[in-house]
Amino acid sequence: MSPVLRLARGSPAYVAMPLAAAAVLTIFGSLWAAALFLLISVFMLYFHRDPDRSPAGEGMISPADGRVLKAIPGHISIFMSLRDVHVNRSPLDGVVKSLQFRPGRHRPAFSLTDGNEQNTIEIESQDGTLLLRQIAGILARTVICYVSPGDRVGRGERIGMIRFGSRVEVTVPPGYLISVRPGDRVRAGETVIAVNRP
């Protein structure tokens, strides 16, 4: 594990802008306002962290940090709160077959989200096709995808992020047995959420 704090791709500006504002306000003697912007910068640093992760075992790994909302045959849904790492990862090795972005509303991500803004990543693995859906929540305003059709992705590889509270849903290929339950806490790129039955 590297001792250097890693930030998610494209995130340094979110940390630097309030930090710069704090510095300017300090010069002009607005210390309370400067303290507020400094706190915002610290929050942005915490929110955009992107630690290295290693799978905890064989099988399909979690695409997101958070709490499992739903775990039924063929489908797992994970809610990411503000305190979770928001970088999303590929559950299995495979090839990105397609991307589909759909604009929409920003309702709370822990409730029904059919009409919310979302991005669907189709990945073809050796065990079948899976769909990973990044869904914006009430605070999330940016769904970010790092991959393109034709890209080969490794299990646990970073494939995108969602800013400020959101939800990730993933389909489970046939032959996999889900190993998590609603309420379980999971970590992207680390927690095994389903195993391939022999």
Q: How confident is the model at residue 3 (pLDDT cuts 50, 70, 90)?
A: low
Q: What is the pLDDT of residue 42?
A: 93
The pLDDT tens digits of the residues spanning 100-124 come to 998 866 665 555 556 778 899 999 9
CB 159 within 8 A of CB 132: yes
Least confident of 70-79, 93-102, 146-155, 164-173: 164-173
CB 125 within 8 A of CB 93: yes
The pLDDT tens digits of the residues spanning 134-143 come to 988 666 567 8
* 3-state class (DSSP) for residue 44: helix
The pLDDT tens digits of the residues spanning 13-71 come to 889 999 999 999 999 989 999 999 999 999 999 989 999 999 988 999 999 999 999 99
Neighbour count for residue 187 (Cβ, 10 Å) = 17
Max CA separation in the chain (angstroms): 67
The whole-chain average pLDDT of the chain stands at: 89
d(CA 89, CA 153): 9
d(CA 124, CA 143): 22
Domains of the chain with bracketed CATH: 1-52 (no CATH), 60-196 (2.70.70)
Identity at 193, one-letter amino acid code: I
Alpha helices by DSSP H, 12-160: 12-27, 31-47
Looking at the chain, the whole-number percentage of residues with pLDDT higher than 70 is: 89
Query: Model-level pTM greater than 0.85?
Result: yes
pLDDT for 1 beyond 50: no
Is residue 166 part of the annotated active site? The answer reads yes
The residue from 2, 41, 166, 179 that is catalytic is 166
